[in-house]
Amino acid sequence: MAETYSKMAQYYDKIYAEKDYAAEVERLVAILGDGRGRRRSLLDVACGTGRHLESLRDSFDVEGLDICAEALDDARKRNPGVVFHVADMTNFDLGRTFDVVTCLFSSIGYVKTLDRLRAAVRSMAAHLNPEGVLVVEPWFTPGEWRPNTVHAVYIDEPELKIARVNTSLVEGRLSILEMHYLVGTPEGTEHLVERHELGLFEVDEMISAVEGEGLVVTYDREGLSGRGLYLGRKAGRRGR
């Protein structure tokens, strides 16, 4: 699957072209406030191709982190001059801290298990400055997930045709998306398959993971895109 995911990374932005990243960032900036008149630092974990960072960099000094090197190639092209790190969200150490750490577009679901959820939150919280804020946009809860439903996305350009079809499934506390792609280019047509497994976490499990790192949690049920939003604020005062 990793090889297929790397290959499809070049088409990621086309598949999610309708997602309004700029509007989501506008809402996030409003939620976070003005930073008391100073420009703040921000790390976007699981940043993918850097679409959120493209707008976040207008308000913050940003860095990005993702496990997929191919996605970060696109992120660097989109965000010249921004520092990006190839790392696993459950275990990283950048040797510095930030005013804000984000994990958006439900990427937290890829940790799959509660133990790995706690590890990811621990790694992200460790990179917060005093009074810093952790922002996590969740995947679906077990009750929200709708298995045995069929979904499709189509891309129709003169020299690129993509059909992505999947049936949403469930195995215990894992949501399963086996994405079948037909990708047509002037060089030929390929059939590629990606299997995505994302953990289904309850609201109280998410809150517990964030509170377990000593952060004060606020839960916004609507969030940036209707999936909710967890904000964990670290105690302490910054140096003046």
Q: What is the pLDDT along the chain (240 residues), one digit of tens a residue?
A: 455 556 788 898 899 999 999 999 999 999 998 766 678 999 999 999 999 999 999 999 999 999 999 999 999 999 999 999 999 999 999 999 999 999 999 999 999 999 999 999 999 999 999 999 999 999 999 999 999 999 999 999 999 999 999 999 999 999 999 999 999 999 999 999 999 999 999 999 999 999 999 999 999 999 999 999 999 999 977 554
Domains of the chain, by residue range, sit at 2-140+202-233, 149-199
The CA–CA distances, whole Å, from 63 to 6, 68, 106, 126, 164 equal: 21, 15, 19, 16, 31
pTM: 0.93
What kind of fold does domain 149-199 have according to CATH?
S-adenosyl-L-methionine-dependent methyltransferases (2.20.130)
- Please give the angle made by the CA atoms of 131, 137 and 141, to the nearest 5 degrees: 130
- 24 contacts 67 by C-beta, under 8 angstroms: no
The 8-class DSSP code of residue 95 comes to S
Q: How do residues 155-186 score in pLDDT, each as one tens digit? A: 999 999 999 999 999 999 999 999 999 999 99
Please tell me the distance from the alpha carbon of residue 197 to that of residue 151, in angstroms, as a whole number: 16
Q: CB count, 10 Å around CB of 190?
A: 12
What kind of fold does domain 2-140+202-233 have according to CATH?
Rossmann fold (3.40.50)
